[in-house]
Amino acid sequence: MDLQKLFLVITVTAVISLVCYPSSVTAGDIVHDDNLAPKKPGCENDFVLVKVQTWVDGVEDAEFVGVGARFGTTIVSKEKNANQIRLTLSNPLDCCSAPKHKLDGDVIMVHRGHCKFTTKANNAQTAGASALLIINNQKELYKMVCEPDETDLDIHIPAVMLPQDAGSSLEKMLLTNSSVSVQLYSPKRPLVDIAEVFLWLMAVGTILCASYWSAWSAREAAIEQDKLLKDAVDEIPNEKAVGFSTVVDINTTSAVLFVVIASCFLVILYKLMSYWFIELLVVLFCIGGVEGLQTCLVALLSRWFKHAGESYIKVPFFGALSYLTLAVAPFCIAFAVVWAVYRTVSFAWIGQDILGIALIITVLQIVHVPNLKVGTVLLGCAFLYDIFWVFVSKKVFHESVMIVVARGDRSGEDGIPMLLKIPRMFDPWGGYSIIGFGDILLPGLLIAFSLRYDWLATKSLLSGYFPWAMFAYGLGLLVTYVALNLMDGHGQPALLYIVPFTLGTFLTLGKKRGDLRVLWTQGKPETPCPHVRLHHREELD
């Protein structure tokens, strides 16, 4: 393997070991029901995000997002059913005692203070308020719950918590304008968003392209090796002397080590999550993305610029590079740099997806699963890894480590870069549908193996394993999104559904067709070597 491809594999190994992230919805998720928070009659609302639209002197102004309380009346879901109501600042500001002035159905805004939330709500309700806005003393939202021993829960007005910066803006509006009114509503997220359909097509299409490229390269290599063996059978002592492979085969040991190393990296990310750490991940992602994009473009353009693709020049550190590679490299580097600089803009997801898809396709071209045994160990370990860090880690760390890392919590950034993402198009809360590279790459290794086997065994489309493996992956990912929506947007480990579908289908078909032993151990059809065929022919003569 040349130095450039070795560098790519090392970079990608460091990056991919961090990215078996769950398919999820981020940036504006509905605040989910928290089973740890106490519930009782009068204090049993689900936590929902609430839009607070403002009007200043009758002109529509800024919109803020808060979270509804466990207590009080529920907030209407449709904007047309929400009334514009005048906003008033509480006096005293914390509303821990009764307001000094009676309110004529106004929305009262109060500071968090030190008394119970229900105390504020009861005081506001007694004063005639129609709703309560509580300003948190921090930038984050806070779930307002009831104390276990509380009994005064006959609250008939909605209560909403707003972050500190939103409260500061509202206070400024009240102090500098004659009239400020607000509208409170909590729109529901649609059951299915078209973004999930496109993300599904993107994941399936990536594996499809990578598998065909991998199988085509494997078949070309086999044909070339067969020709060399036929032409030089007397000069070559054994078939291991033939060929120069640019492929990295995974073994069972490295498959198990992957889970161990990935878990260590995940914990490091979780503990050290910060702005500078995200910047480091961006650099790693850009390096891998540049290599991946360059490899894909060179392979594609070499069909039209064959001479440039086959003419080489020696470059220090990188070794021999084709002229086509040198011509494409500046564009790839510029593309990655522009994405890194402007990655926070609304359309930056396009560049991220292009770099990510190119990286995944390139890795599936270079890294191979040699047989079904290694594929089973790899996907089995990844299956357990995904479940543990999404669900079981909550028991140890009091939150899902993988989801926290995927969202980029405590980093000041909107998630880490090693994800494919598409903005949700019909979601009133916005955000993205995402899928981790690992949820495409790891099953993709097995699916690409199935197509390589089909081509080497000259199997037809119906008798092969690839169509069934591809169908099983697509169905598994589809079930992931169904589960995601049924769970009200809670992040789901995609491999929990994809691995049983994909691996189970492969093992079942292999057993039924009698190919399981060959698939499990050799990973390629049993064909005699050319020199054996020649020797056999000479004996017959």
Position 198 in a domain:
yes
Tally of structural domains, the chain? 2
Position 492 in a domain:
yes
3-state secondary structure of 476: helix
Residue 36 has pLDDT above 60, yes or no: no
Position 534 in a domain:
no
Task: Tell me, yes or no, if 541 is annotated catalytic.
Answer: no
The answer to whether 120 and 132 have CB atoms below 8 angstroms apart is: yes
Q: Does residue 219 share a domain with residue 118?
A: no
Q: Does residue 316 share a domain with residue 260?
A: yes
Residue 17: the pLDDT is 46
Query: Which is catalytic among the residues 29, 106, 386, 427?
Result: 386
Position 8 in a domain:
no
| pLDDT band of 312, cuts 50, 70, 90 | confident
CATH number of the domain within which 73 lies: 3.50.30.30
Q: Does residue 370 share a domain with residue 479?
A: yes
Sign of CA dihedral 110, 112, 118, 119: negative
The answer to whether 492 and 24 have CB atoms below 8 angstroms apart is: yes
Query: Which is catalytic among the residues 29, 106, 439, 454?
Result: 439
Residue 229: the pLDDT is 66
Q: Does residue 142 share a domain with residue 89?
A: yes
Q: Does residue 295 share a domain with residue 176?
A: no
Residue 176: the pLDDT is 84
Position 234 in a domain:
no
Q: Does residue 161 share a domain with residue 212?
A: no
Position 137 in a domain:
yes
Sign of CA dihedral 305, 306, 312, 318: positive
Q: Does residue 378 share a domain with residue 517?
A: yes
- CA–CA separation, 435 vs 353, rounded Å? 11
| pLDDT band of 396, cuts 50, 70, 90 | confident
Task: Tell me, yes or no, if 386 is annotated catalytic.
Answer: yes
Q: Does residue 416 share a domain with residue 367?
A: yes
- Of all residues in the chain, the percent with pLDDT exceeding 90 is 33
Q: Does residue 272 share a domain with residue 301?
A: yes
Q: Does residue 493 share a domain with residue 442?
A: yes
How many Cβ atoms from other residues are within 10 Å of residue 124's Cβ? Answer: 30
Range of the domain at 170: 31-146+154-185
Q: What is the pLDDT of residues 332-362, one digit of tens each?
A: 999 999 999 998 888 899 999 999 999 999 9
